[in-house]
Every structure is written in C-alpha cells, then in structure tokens.
Structure 1
C-alpha cells in the first residue's frame, strides 16, 4: 500500500471512528502497529490530526478527508491547549503537543505534577506498597507519571538500586540519592508530560533489561489492560514494558475500569496491579480472572 493511500485510510478511520487503539487501526488497514504509530506522529506534526481528550482526533473546523497536504494548524489555535488531562502524566495534552508558549504562560494545561492531586492519600499508599516489592541490588524501570514519581521518592531506604527512566520528575526525585544509579534514556522531550519519548527512546530501551518495570496510565480494564490517550507515550511505555521481566501497573481507583485510546500493556502482560480499595470491584474481579495479581491498598 502506498504511503499516501495508507495515511488517507488512517485519516478516514480517525474521522469515522475517533476512539480507536493502535491495534484496531493496524487490523483495519492490515499493517503493523509500529507503522500506525509512525504515521500518526507525522500526521499530527503536519496538522492533519489534532490532540483531543481521546488522544487524536480531527482538526476543527472539520476538513475533507482527502487532502493530505493541508497546512499545519496555527500555533495556539483551538487544539493547541487541551481540555482535561492526565493526573498520571499520560494525558492527551502531552501526547501531541508540548503546550507551546501559551501553555507555559498559563493559558494551557499544566503538567500533572503542577496541578492539584485529586487522590493524594491513595497515590502515596500505592507508591508505598510498590516500594515494598523492589528487591535491593536489582535494576528497575520507571515510566512517567505522578504515581511512579511518588514511588521514586520512596526509594531512599533501599541500599543499592539501578533505575532506568524516561521521566524528568522521576530523575529529579532520585538526583540526591547517591546509592541509586540512574539511567536517563534520551529522546524528544515532551514538556507537558515531563518525559522523553519517540524512536530514540524506544531504541535505547531495546538494549536494556530490568527485573521490574513500574508503569502508570489513564485506564485499566480486563479487556485491554493498561491504556493511555497519549500516542507518543504509548509507544515508549510499550518499550518500557518489553524491557521489564515483571510488569507492575500503578493505578488509583479513578483509572480502574476506565478505557482510553492507546493500549500500552495488555492484561496478559500485567503481573501485578497496585490500586486502592475504592477500585471498581467488578473490574478487579475480571482482572484477577485474567491472572493479574491485584493488590488493594
């Protein structure tokens, strides 16, 4: 399939269906998920798609599907700043824009770590339990997000540890802990999620392995596992998942039972889910039936 035809069909799928995963798009077009991710990045950069609550959607006002050479949406336009956002650092706003000058000046959404935490007690309880799962002397991987950053702040009591991360806030939390070796992988900085993402990051992670990987996102269901509305963070989270022997998902109750656009960790790859006691009981039951070790704290 020619590139132009493939991208035209991707654009049609987004316009017609809107809320679809990489796998669904790949299946619809009979192409690989990596090709879908690469094409979506290019189409966002060219202004053919815009960030929405679901991660990616049509530019407003709506454009005809056929023209693939439409001009880039102007900076600071209606799609430059996104309503909503992820409390755990994976929101749609970080997925396709850096926030721009408007965001830094206060007109757009702030990164999650700078906004009021809606579940501070639950988040700290989840982080504390996650810290208890770490074996000193091993190497672990930490993805971006409020909960993984809260976990990083609790690693001071561990004698020796190597932490691989793409998160700026996780790095900052560990910078004064000399007993912890920090490996900060490179890549393109997405300021609105405080993390580096993209092909460089994914390639760097391919050569690394850790005993455990700790990830957060915006949704956890039995059907699709861990999901995020952020197309860029999703690919990097998948690379983090592949690098960890044990996959541990950290998600407060507001994420459990919620589904978003991009699958990052299928439920059969989640070894442990640490959540709080307010999590939806039916979703917890279904996850346990899928073989996930659900810890309620």
Structure 2
C-alpha cells in the first residue's frame, strides 16, 4: 500500500471512530506502528487529525463520542486484558455498580463467575452479560434508553441511585487526564456516572491507553475521587502516556497495568493456580503503581489484595517500579 493510500485509510478510520489507537491502525493498514506514527504526524501537520497518547483523534481538542458499533471494534485486545485484571478486584458477596461502556461489558462477562455478587447497572449490555449468571443478582436503574450506548440515562436513572451504597464503582469513559480525571462526551451519561460514583466507597476506572491524556467535554470523576485505574501496557515509545500515569499516581491513584509483566505467570496457589494476593488472569499479571497518599478507602480493602505505599517497606524498589513505568 502506498503512503497516500495508507494515510487516506487512516483518516477515514479516525473520522468514522473519533479516536483510533496506533496498534489498531497498524493492524488495519498492515504495516508497523513506526510507519503509522509517521503517517499520523504527516496528517497532523496538514490539520486533518490530532495525535494523542498512542493514537489519533479528530482535530479540535475534544473528541466526539463514537457509537457502540465503532467502539466495540476498537482496542479489543486491550479491553479484554483490562477486564481480566479488573475482575480480580471483585470479591464474592460484594455489591458493586458497573457503568455503561464496551470495557465494562467485557468486565461483566467475567463477573458472571463471582458467586453472591450484586451488580447495579444502568447498562443493558452489562445486564445482558449477567442475565444467565445464576449466582449474580442484577439490579437495573430506571431512566430513558440512550440507544447509542444502550444505557439508561436521565432523572429516572439518577433518582433510582439515591440512597444506594456499594463497595465499588467500575466506570469507563471517553478520556482520562490527571488534570480533570475521567470525562465523557455526553452530558446525560456524565450525570448518571456521577450518581454511580456517589454510591460507591471506591471508584475503579477502566481505560485503555488510547484514552490516557484525552480530554472530553463533561467531567464524570475528578482525579481525587478515583481510587484505582486499570489500564493496559503503554506503547514502548509513548513517553507521554508514562508521564500521564505518573501524574495520576502522584495524585493518589493506584494504577494496575494489564500485561505489565510481559505475560509472566506470577505466584501460584494450591494446584498451580494464581494466588488471591496477586491474581493472574488470562496469562497477565497485575502490577500496581504505589499509592502515595490516602484514598476514600484503602486500595484492595475487602479483596485480599496487597498494595504498598511509596514510602513503605522498600522505597528504592518502589521508585524503580515507577521509573520503569515511565520508560514504558
């Protein structure tokens, strides 16, 4: 494929989806990420798109929201890895809320195996994924159906969440920055997500690397309310993503990176399975960026998972881990 053909295809993908990762672009145009990065720079110089951490977005600073069909085909491997990892933070018998999104839908499919779980959601896709889970109780909010993402929104959804209290909220969004936190492109969705946050003791954000550093119109979760971020491994040459993750960690966000160990097996429990203290799912191992300060609830509380503060036990090793993440 000639360079002009590649760049036209890249431009069409960004226009259709709003935001596309370099990995996905390289796969579609069947070339290396280095070549795609060069093409994206050329298109940015012409004002046709904007570069973001590990991807490209529509020009203008704020990305528009893609519909479900487009989102479901973006960063599918990354979403699977994130969902595998995030499921390890849910314990038997917990009550949680799960917001709308393609990543949270992937998470829901894995939660079907958690006995005694109660899931409150405004997402038809999340409810559908759990519909046949005999040991999981699903509670849906009221509200008006928003067809583009199969979510219930509006005053009915928000009112049904009043007085609710659960252990964790699992949310996704359109963008995540250390400055503004999690954001989305739709006002109604943002309002319901804020109500979900108010119902939870801890907030877990699921965001793949393409959303890091992307800012969209409506803030849903400010950074100081995010307990944990579950994301995928940043691209090798994406220094800005590492910087963004460090900035989030500096503000007290616990960061778990799917695939951070390069597919290592991790500690094993009885029978060769993963231990509860350091879960390994889908051949991926959890790595946590240390939590510098106190959160609304201690990370890992109620899950049997162990986290270490930056200034505890082995500060030199912890600083090395943070530096390694920045290099990645």
TM-score with structure 1 setting the length:
0.63
Give the whole-Å Cα distance in 1 for the aligned partners of 2:196 and 2:71: 26
Structure 1 stretches lacking a partner, 5+ long: 1-52, 54-83, 86-90, 94-108
Q: Does 1:233 align with 2:194?
A: no
Match of 1:179 in 2: 135
Counterpart of 1:198 in structure 2 is 154
- How many residues are aligned here? 195
Aligned counterpart, 1:260: 216
SS in 2 for 1:286: helix
Q: Describe the SS at the equivalent of 1:153.
A: helix
Distance in 1, Cα, partners of 2:220 & 2:233: 24
* Pair 1:182–1:262, CA change in 2 (3 A): same
Matched, 1:143 2:99: yes
Distance 2:255 2:245 in 1: 7
Task: Kindly report structure 1 stretches of 4+ aligned residues shifted beyond 4 Å.
Answer: 113-116
- For residue 142 of structure 1, report the CA deviation from its aligned partner: 0.3
CA RMSD of aligned residues (A): 2.1
Residues 164-208 of structure 1 deviation map (CA, whole Å, 9 limit, x = unaligned): 000010011000111100001110111111100011111111121
Please tell me whether residue 293 in structure 1 is matched to residue 254 in structure 2. yes
Q: Which residue number corresponds to residue 164 of structure 2?
A: 208
SS at match of 2:193: helix
SS in 2 for 1:137: coil
SS at match of 1:154: helix
Distance 1:114 1:285, change over 3 A: closer
Structure 2 unpaired stretches of 5+? 1-17, 19-55, 58-62, 236-240, 259-328
Shift of 1:120: 1.1
Structure 1 residues 116 and 228, CA gap change in structure 2 (3 angstroms): closer
TM-score by length of 2: 0.57
1:159 matched to which residue of 2? 115
Q: Which has the higher contact order (CA 8 A, sep 6+)?
A: 1
Separation of aligned partners in 2, 1:209 and 1:253: 30
> What SS does structure 1 have at the residue aligned with 2:126?
helix
Aligned to 1:282: 243
Asked if structure 2 preserves the Cα contact closer than 8 Å seen for 1:247 and 1:272, the reply is yes
Residue aligned with 1:176, SS: coil
Q: 1:155 & 1:137 partners in 2: Cα distance?
A: 11
